[in-house]
Amino acid sequence: MIEVNIVGTGNVAWHLAKALGAQNNAVVMQVAGRSQASLEPFKHMARHTVTINNLTAADVTIIAVSDDMIAQVSEQIPFDNTLVVHTSGYTAMSTLSRKHKKGVFYPLQSFSKDDVSLHFAEIPILVEAENDEDEKTLRELASMISDTVQVINSAQRRQLHLAAVFANNFTNHCYTVAQDICDQYEVDVKTLHPLILKTAQKALENGPTNSQTGPAKRGDKEVINKQLDLLENPDHKDIYNTLTKAIYTTYGKKL
Amino acid sequence: MIEVNIVGTGNVAWHLAKALGAQNNAVVMQVAGRSQASLEPFKHMARHTVTINNLTAADVTIIAVSDDMIAQVSEQIPFDNTLVVHTSGYTAMSTLSRKHKKGVFYPLQSFSKDDVSLHFAEIPILVEAENDEDEKTLRELASMISDTVQVINSAQRRQLHLAAVFANNFTNHCYTVAQDICDQYEVDVKTLHPLILKTAQKALENGPTNSQTGPAKRGDKEVINKQLDLLENPDHKDIYNTLTKAIYTTYGKKL
């Protein structure tokens, strides 16, 4: 049985509390948050709901707060020399207070409040710890809720998090631009849905470089220039120019 | 029974010939290509395989060639006053020779040669014609192979094709950058696969603006600046800068 504390009441904290709380071999002992209101959704999940100063030690204390609060919150934890982890892809393990046995428990997913049907089993969890015993504990805990558990170091995780910004944040904004264009010209955006799904599936199956198509890949300057003329929004133009240039460069052609 | 000619031997021609050839109410009469070698894969599909000058009229002649060849090829067709369509999202219907009854038959998908398992039923087909009778013929033909058939005009189709460049070409290149970063730091790119699929699915289910997350959306300048420092490839930096600025602007924040 692994006893867990959770510090934080945001989306990651909530999904972790829910997933770990459903396990036979883990128990969420306490959840700490800044206010009673933020703790309200956790009241039926954890045995105790407390402010951070009242936390008592557990096998693993998971800090699931925003990146810029990790150092401060880890310092405020009122015990030392137990395993304390954060859940950030971006933040180094060393950001945690030196009074703890440090670790990282990073679920690689973009969590939203409305993810009621989130399946943790499909979400990779990347763990890191200062020693083998703690690493084993984190692997064991992660394996309870996820089918994909890997050990990577802080430098790799920071790069993986950066890659995820491209794979998630930036692709999602490209979808947003596509939707804007469809809305403006009264074309049903659902017409694009099969293409969006197929693009993702093909990139996974064949690799994205094998799947690249379009005017930039072909070096079709006439289409590129006419499409630039069609774009009215300056940010859309910038995205078109920048990605077209990058695709050109990648596939060995010059503008 | 709708009799069809296909002019062209590329990916779109091949997938159309295969899909239409499998229907009871359509028959591919002839396929025209530039060389015997390019026509070879079609020999078991169509009754006749000929050069363009030997084509005889059919109910619908589908020109599936590159955008810049559509006008010339449509002029070379040795008959007139029958329905001739192209398959281009980008090209106006009026590009076709005036000697024909003009139309468009645009399957919205990114076709690759290795798409052996392509399901045409899921691919929207956008049709356009000069008169109601021809539009009806095209809707009938498209409905045989696709579950989603819509009539849109040339201006709308050109915008839809532009939206598809964002939704397909540009997202795919974002996947490529993510893969480059993972490869460079020896992180298994498969770790990103659930995120990539989930990003596409969430954008379809909840809309992309409701699904946007990340440092640009949050306006987290510290993370943005540090991630820019991590990027070594200047094109990757440009993409990061441009999309971050666009996301900022979209969600009401200033850099």
Report the complex ipTM: 0.93
Q: How far apart are CA B235 and CA A242, in angstroms?
A: 8
Q: Which A residues in the span 6-35 are in contact with B, Cβ-Cβ below 8 Å?
A: none
Q: Kindly report the nearest CA distance between residue A57 and chain B, in angstroms.
A: 31
Contacts of A35 (CB under 8 A, 6+ apart): none
Q: Give the A window 225-244 contacts with B, CB below 8 Å.
A: 226-227, 230-231, 235-236, 238-243
Query: In A, which residues are within 8 Å of B247 by CB distance?
Result: 169, 173
SS3 at position A125 = strand
Query: What local confidence, expressed as pLDDT, does residue A255 receive?
Result: 46
pLDDT at A115 over 80: no
Cβ–Cβ below 8 Å for A114 and B222: no
pLDDT attached to residue B255: 46
B92 Cβ neighbours under 8 A, 6+ residues apart: B154, B158
SS3 A179: helix
In this model, does residue A90 exceed pLDDT 90?
Answer: yes
Average pLDDT over chain A, rounded to an integer:
94
Q: Does A78 touch chain B (CB under 8 A)?
A: no
Edge-to-edge strands of the sheet including A125-129?
Answer: A48-50, A26-32, A2-7, A60-63, A83-86, A101-107, A125-129, A149-151
Does residue A46 have a pLDDT over 80? no
Residues 6 or more apart from B69 whose CB is under 8 A from it?
A: none
Interchain CB distance below 8 Å, A108 and B195: yes
Q: Is the pLDDT of residue A70 over 70?
A: yes
The amino acid occupying position B254 is: K
**Facing residue for A187 by CB, picked from B159, B245, B246:** B159
Is B200's CB within 8 Å of A195's CB?
no
Q: Give residues 32 to 61 of A whose Cβ lies within 8 Å of B.
A: none
The H or E element spanning position A141 is helix A132-145
Q: List chain B pLDDT tens, one digit each, 255 residues.
A: 999 999 999 999 999 999 999 999 999 999 999 888 888 888 888 777 778 988 999 999 999 999 999 999 999 999 999 999 999 999 999 999 999 999 999 999 988 766 667 788 999 999 999 999 999 999 999 999 999 999 999 999 999 999 999 999 999 999 999 999 999 999 999 999 999 999 999 999 999 999 999 999 989 999 999 999 999 999 999 999 999 999 999 997 544
For residue B67, which residues of chain A lie inside 8 Å, CB to CB?
220, 223
Note whether A175 contacts B166, CB cutoff 8 Å. yes
pLDDT of residue A47: 74
pLDDT for residue B215? 93
Burial-class residue A39 by CB neighbours within 10 Å (0-12, 13-18, 19+). middle
Superfamily of B2-152 according to CATH: NAD(P)-binding Rossmann-like Domain (3.40.50.720)
Which letter does DSSP use for residue A59 in this model? S
> Which of A122, A154, A171, A227 to mutate to test binding with chain B, by most B CBs within 10 Å of its CB?
A171
Q: What percent of chain B has pLDDT over 90?
A: 85
Where are the domains positioned within chain B?
Answer: 2-152, 157-250
Strand extents, DSSP E, chain A: 2-7, 26-32, 48-50, 60-63, 83-86, 101-107, 125-129, 149-151
pLDDT at B135: 98
Any chain A CB within 8 A of the CB of B167?
A: yes
Predicted confidence at residue B253, as pLDDT, reads 59
Nearest-neighbour CA in chain B from A47: distance (Å)? 31
Residue B234's nearest CA partner among A164, A235, A246 is: A246
Rounded alpha-carbon distances, angstroms, from residue A148 to A107, A118, A121, A131, A190: 10, 15, 8, 21, 32
Q: Are B208 and A172 in contact (CB under 8 A)?
A: yes
The answer, for B219 touching chain A at a CB cutoff of 8 Å, is: no
- A206-253: pLDDT as tens digits: 999 999 999 999 899 999 999 999 999 999 999 999 999 999 999 975
Largest CA distance in chain A: 67
Q: Give the whole-angstrom CA distance, residue B11 versus residue A254.
A: 26
For the record, the structure tokens of A177 come out as 């631009």
* Whole-number Å distance between alpha carbons of A99 and A101: 7
Q: Indicate the fold that domain A157-250 takes in CATH.
A: N-(1-d-carboxylethyl)-l-norvaline Dehydrogenase; domain 2 (1.10.1040)
At A50, list the tokens.
């407390």
- Any chain B CB within 8 A of the CB of A94? no
Other Cβ atoms within 10 Å of A130 Cβ, number? 15
Give the tokens for residue A189. 């955006």
Contacts of B204 in chain A (CB under 8 A): 193, 196-197
- pLDDT band at residue A113 using 50, 70 and 90 as cut-offs: low
Length of chain B, in residues: 255
Please report residues of A whose CB lies closer than 8 A to that of B156. 185-187
